[in-house]
Structure 1
Amino acid sequence: MTQVASEQPQLDANGLRQALRIATGCTIGFALSKVMDWPYGIFFTIYPMLLLGMVPTLTMSSIRQFFASAAFSAFSVLIIQGYFSHIPVLMIIVVFGAFCILFHQMSNGGAFLFGALGLVSLSIQLHFSSYIDQTSSIYPLIISNILAIVTTVIIAALMHGLFPDVVKRPIRTMPVKSKASIRHEVLLCSTVATLSFIVFQVFNLQDSISAQSSSILVLLSLCWKTAGMAGWHRAIGTLIGCTAALLSQLLLYNHTDFLLFPVLILWILSLIFARFHILGGGGPGIGFGVLTTFGILFGQSLGPGQDLVYSALYRFSSVSVAIIASLSMVYILHHLLNRFSATRHHTYV
């Protein structure tokens, strides 16, 4: 019994500090958005999870990339919705170009955080802005996103101050890729992301932000070899996250108006699954899928007079369909691009 227990993975000192940073950071962001009654609470809950979960060490480079991603996504949404919303064909071309820029930064590796955060921010804002009434302004959405970015950086700095690493972390090295592989990844992911955007516009899926986000998040792996596993992890993470949200609703019952209760539950759940995320290597695995699942549900669907039951059930069914459709397109495009030497995907060198 002692030997079996000793073989179970355990968080090291740095891992525990990072788990505390993730849980406390996203909880502060969630609480702030509810106390201040800020719209689009999803930004204030998810962004701390992304920054503190994807970047174990906060540096000036990561902060600059985070701010740059906010500026790029805000500018892109203003241009796309302001000038091309009435011309669908041109709008799709501009959206595809914006995705190409972001995926190229990710594939090169030099500004992966800029590309990944910009991708998530841009896709969410495009989804929300597409369903804003013509008589309403898009600026509250842009301002909320910028405010969430600034708030997240402040929260992240505070978390690193309260829970600093015990020992210095090793520097991550990015794999070197051939130009053909970079072209392959950029074209594949940008095409799938654009097709996802088109589908969610054509079928008027206004309440499917979770499914739309999941169809984008599976592309963070950049290629078919890892996208399949990423999609499987995302599906499992969504199932676990929705189950956790449903159990949370049972505990909350009709006391969601009392902010302390959802805050405590969010912190406990985030700490538990941040541990799995870190033990899994800190990448977009099952733990990260669980975190972002109930992060979206808490940030977007939980408030006075609201509950998570319908949102959780609808989310899992819609996310499952979105992941299957995205992976099918990734598989088809992967084999199509591999037919040409200029876009053939090679093993990293």
Structure 2
Amino acid sequence: MKTMRLWFGCVTGLAISMIFGWSYGFFVALLPIIIMTNADHWHWNGYYQLVIGIIWTTVEVSFINGFFQSSPLLLTIVVGIFFLEKCIAMSHKNSYLFGFVGLLVGSIALNFASYSSFDLEDFSITLWCSAIVTIPICALAYLLFPEPIAETAVDTTHDAQRYDHIGMIRQTALGWIIAMLAFLVFQVGDLNDSLSAQASIIIVLAPMTLIGSLAAAKIRIIGTFLGCLAGLIIQVGLYTWSDNGILFIMAYAIAAGIFCSWLALGTIKSSIAFSAMSALTVPLTTSLVPDQKDAVFAILYRFSSIFVAVVLTSMTIWVIHHFLVRVIKSPSEHFNHG
């Protein structure tokens, strides 16, 4: 039943985004997956964190962009405080989703808000709508495809939480430094078409540990390749029929069904499948314009940019992790070295 819930959530989300013509409609196809992957039963906590996290983050970004965009120094300082707030939230299990959503959405919005072609208001409203619509989509999915065997819901998200104070400080510092470096790189470079690469940096960073991030990097590359391949197959298979909404939804549903069956396993395949779903969904909803523009180049560019971003991020995380281990030591480590 979990496979059916996930499949229903992403396909329904895509259909809604197509009906309303949302510019960033891929969010409404992916947000239900984020919520339902680690929960076999309905829980309000995840939805609270998702909706409040998105609304609060977009309001913060609008405030920062409106008041500090003209002063690069002040902007950098305020963004640093913003990212620190999100990283601290991620270091606690009960607020992890709030922090992760804020860091992901905030880093994208803050960087792209500096480009005149980016409509922050449209981005924010679409995100609000996607987050709010996610609630009835998930509720309906749980109603139509309930878990047949009553089980105690176990939140397996990020079980490797930080148990020691020093470890939490290190991981918060690691997340903050990587987020700030990504922000500065995207501000200095003209990278307004690399949204997927920036999102990948935050996703690789999400475990907030060296081992977890390196594993996430491998998973991200494999999943992106599979998702891009599926997207190319859909694009080539439909060819001139890509303007047929029913055929497009059917083709997407078939590919999504395969990846959702992996998502339901709760293993490494689940993480690969999520990356595949994002790689499948984003280009087909943002770059494909029937009878005008195909998504082949966007799909190929997506894989290459994500590959480069993930490799560079992994190397940076490795360097910063070892630097933090040397700089921030627990009392026992000081004693052992003494």
For normalisation by structure 2, the TM-score amounts to 0.90
Paired with 1:282 and 1:164, the residues of 2 have a C-alpha distance of 24
Q: Give yes or no for contact 2:264–2:270 (8 Å, CA) kept in 1.
A: no
Q: 2:221 aligns with which of 204, 218, 235?
A: 235
Q: Give yes or no for contact 1:184–1:343 (8 Å, CA) kept in 2.
A: no
Where does residue 261 of structure 1 map in the other structure? 247
Where does residue 164 of structure 1 map in the other structure? 146
Q: 2:29 aligns with which of 45, 50, 58?
A: 45
Q: What does 1:173-188 correspond to in 2, within 5 Å?
A: 174=159, 175=161, 177-188=163-174
Listed as ranges, the gaps of 5+ residues in structure 1 are 1-16
Paired with 2:128 and 2:24, the residues of 1 have a C-alpha distance of 11
- Compare relative contact order (CA 8 Å, sep 6+) and give the higher one, 1 or 2: 1
Q: Percent identity?
A: 30
Where does residue 86 of structure 1 map in the other structure? 70
The 1:217/1:284 distance shift into structure 2, 3 A limit, reads farther
Where does residue 271 of structure 1 map in the other structure? 257
Paired with 1:214 and 1:20, the residues of 2 have a C-alpha distance of 27
Where does residue 7 of structure 2 map in the other structure? 23
CA drift of 1:282 comes to: 7.3
Listed as ranges, the gaps of 5+ residues in structure 2 are 334-338
Determine helix, strand or coil for the equivalent of 2:264.
helix
Paired with 2:189 and 2:144, the residues of 1 have a C-alpha distance of 46
Q: What does 1:125-204 correspond to in 2, within 5 Å?
A: 125-133=109-117, 138-167=120-149, 168-172=151-155, 174=159, 175=161, 177-204=163-190
Where does residue 97 of structure 1 map in the other structure? 81
Paired with 1:153 and 1:251, the residues of 2 have a C-alpha distance of 33
Letter in 1 for 2:315: S
Q: Give yes or no for contact 2:200–2:309 (8 Å, CA) kept in 1.
A: yes
The 1:318/1:156 distance shift into structure 2, 3 A limit, reads same
Determine helix, strand or coil for the equivalent of 1:254.
helix
Q: 1:224 aligns with which of 191, 196, 210?
A: 210
For normalisation by structure 1, the TM-score amounts to 0.87
CA drift of 1:102 comes to: 1.8
| Residues paired across the two proteins, number | 328
Paired with 1:108 and 1:327, the residues of 2 have a C-alpha distance of 23
Where does residue 336 of structure 2 map in the other structure? none
Where does residue 65 of structure 1 map in the other structure? 49
Q: Give yes or no for contact 1:49–1:292 (8 Å, CA) kept in 2.
A: no
The 1:172/1:38 distance shift into structure 2, 3 A limit, reads closer
The 1:194/1:169 distance shift into structure 2, 3 A limit, reads same
CA drift of 1:54 comes to: 4.4
Letter in 1 for 2:48: R
